[in-house]
Chain A
Amino acid sequence: MDRDDMNGIDGTEERDRHFIELDRVEKVFDVRKKTGFLRSERREVRAVDSISFTVARGEMVGYIGPNGAGKSTTIKMLTGILTPSGGRVRVAGIDPSRERTRLAHRIGVVFGQRTTLWWDLPLIDSYRLMHRMYRIPDARYRENLDRCVELLELGDLLDVPVRQLSLGQRMRGDIAAALLHDPEVLYLDEPTIGLDVISKAKVREFLRDLNTERGTTVLLTTHDLQDIEQVCRRVMVIDHGRLMYDGPIAGLHEVGDSERTLVVDLERELPPIEAAPARVVKVEGPRQWLAFPASESAAPLVARVAAEYPLVDLSVREPDIEAVIATMYAEQADRARRAGEAEEAVS
């Protein structure tokens, strides 16, 4: 079935609902591994293994998974950088790999660790290049730039050479550069990696505003679960090239049943803190690590520890994605085993 053929009363609506569409998409790489001086072994790697999903126009979706899970490969297929080995990809009705340059006008891409800004030139020069390269009408350009400058607090930075910007400032600069041409979709690859807490918060807030005001569809890959929690309603988990989970963020915690960690710096070395249901998992001099269920608030625990022990400092660590996925795997296997047992019992 070809969705482009669906021209009914609700044709536009149908297209909006399937704004980004992947249908059994595969990406297979040939990997050569050196096994000897001149000998090498060829191996097929399925970086993306039959993934299907749709994203509606205006959704904000988190796309997470461990390193090498196939996240970047998916993004590269969605932006037209890579050609899929199988399956069908459509973004705004366009086949990315066949019409890369046409799609480029309608998407914005931010690569977290690779700036697209001009290193030795003032920030504004990079924006002027975008203005001309994307043929953005002057009025639109000025409007979009003003808006980005205001919301991303770039006013004082426009005349500063990019090499003098901090990592957080540069990232905000990069996000603005990706938005000047009014993209309908914004892909962000690790947009908060290496940023300090304040910069992270600014980036997240901006993304939320962008979505509410412009209805821009946002697809975000990240290592930081907080990015997802604060920005996205929907999260997709990918591992080994397969889609493991697709649903609301809350569901992920239920599935994952993960734990957060409270790191406590005490004034001096003390015996392990007692504060059930939290339990001490590690002690190193005056510093102690307490694990507690991710679904519970940290506040009562912090209050209790603060009341009973001489505190110097506190911090809460979020469960990392690897841990969540690991528990997810375990649960899945567990469920499959139980289902198998149940079937046996019935027969």
Chain B
Amino acid sequence: MAETEQVNETRATPGSHSSHGSRSPQEAYGEDLWPGPYGPYSRLRDGLRAYRMIAAMWIRSTMAYRASFAMTAFGNFAATSFDFLTILLMFSQVDELGGYSLPEVAFLYGVVGVAFGLTDLVIGSMDRLGSRVRDGTLDTLLVRPAPVLAQVAADKFALRRLGRIAQGLFVLGYAVAVLDIAWTPLKVLMVPMMVLSGAMIFGAVFVAGGAFQFVAQDASEVQNSFTYGGGTLLQYPPSIFAKELVRGVTFVVPLAFVNWVPALYVLGRPYPLDLPTWVAFTPPLVGAGCCVLAGLVWRAGLRSYRSTGS
């Protein structure tokens, strides 16, 4: 055991001077190791760092049950395949749906599948926040020296969710291979752009939904209706839905920017609402804007939790 100068030096009586007894971290670690100022960049860095560490712990945890992991990964793949199976079943009976061919619908499906899959992989357990508030385990995250959002986002990180991404990539690959369109460099670049900004938009919905659970702990199902419901909605061409619904997901909850708005440009089809062409290139901006808004909502939610204690 380490017998240091602390021993016998410390008196536990009130008011005794015992600075030898416990050094402050600055003294103990030296200035260069101390995390330092808490600016926005260091917060982001800290957040990513904590995220990586916690996600790695979850991966190790799931690997404790390898068989179960393989099975759930397959289940994840199969379950997400059902949506596309439905579309295939439909196209076994018809050649077009709302004026769109199977490759075109597959393109819409693939983009939203991969975008949603990415979000689900990265912050898929946001909907557990409500139960964490209820059972009090959120408090254990609040006493850690890392941003709470990063800790909650990494919660239950599961590689089995790669199943959803893989399935989306299959369908997207199929669509790109068989689609009969004139691919320009711009159109090619738009595919990864859509996937990434789509993931940002879905991510914003996940975070905002999570923040809402600070106030309403049972709202996870409602959040799932938005995310999974929105994901299902976007698998189909906008032409089949009522105009009000299309307006809602274009202007209110801008899910249409995940695939509808940019993908219809790639497919060379008119958007059901009267939008200028350049709007097709805005998803990164919309995504960034959504993330900023979601960040503000998150902060408000966390502040409300810390002032009400749920």
Contacts and interface: CB of A to CB of B under 8 A. Distances in A.
Contacts of A217: 22
Interface stretch (A9-17, A260-268, A300-308, A320-328): A9-17
Contacts of B64: 120-121, 161
Interface in B32-72: 33, 35, 38, 46, 50, 53-54, 57, 60-62, 64-65
A137 B33 contact: yes
Interface in A202-220: 211-217
A80 interface: yes
B93 interface: no
Given A60-B12, A182-B22, A214-B6, A104 B143 contact: yes
Contacts of A226: none
Nearest to A17: B15
Interface stretch (B73-81, B262-270, B301-309): B301-309
Nearest to A93: B24
Interface string A108-130: 01010010101111000100010
B145 A58 contact: no
Contact of B1 (A55, A100, A150): A150
A147 B1 contact: yes
A76 to B, nearest CB: 7
B80 to A, nearest CB: 25
Interface in A144-186: 146-147, 150-151, 161, 181-184
B24 to A, nearest CB: 7
B21 A57 contact: yes
Most buried by A among B10, B12, B19: B12
A72 to B, nearest CB: 9
Contacts of B30: 137
Given A16-B18, A30-B308, A125-B57, A213 B10 contact: yes
A105 interface: yes
Interface string B1-34: 1100011011111111111111111001110010
Chain B interface mostly: loop
A81 B142 contact: yes
Nearest to A234: B14
A37 B62 CA distance: 43
B14 A17 contact: yes
Given A150-B1, A215-B12, A101 B29 contact: no
A99 B17 CA distance: 25
A82 B15 contact: no
A315 B306 CA distance: 44
Interface in A4-25: 12-13, 16-17
B113 interface: no
Contacts of B14: 17, 55-56, 59, 234
B61 A118 contact: yes
A83 B17 contact: no
Given A114-B140, A125-B60, A146-B2, A106 B53 contact: no
Nearest to B309: A82
A13 B255 CA distance: 59
B137 interface: yes
Contact of A143 (B2, B38, B147): B2
A135 interface: yes
Contacts of A16: 15-19
B146 A101 contact: yes
B29 A212 contact: no
A294 interface: no
B306 A58 contact: no
B221 interface: no
Nearest to B144: A104
Interface of B: 1-2, 6-7, 9-25, 28-30, 33, 35, 38, 46, 50, 53-54, 57, 60-62, 64-65, 135-137, 139-140, 142-147, 303, 306-309
10 contacts: A55-B14, A83-B303, A97-B306, A121-B61, A125-B60, A132-B53, A137-B28, A150-B1, A211-B12, A217-B22
Given A118-B57, A143-B2, 20 more contacts: A27-B309, A56-B16, A57-B18, A58-B18, A59-B12, A59-B14, A80-B142, A92-B24, A101-B38, A105-B145, A111-B139, A114-B135, A114-B136, A146-B1, A147-B1, A161-B64, A184-B24, A213-B6, A215-B21, A216-B21
Q: Which 7 A-B pairs have the closest CB atoms?
A: A215-B21, A215-B10, A104-B145, A56-B14, A215-B18, A120-B61, A81-B142
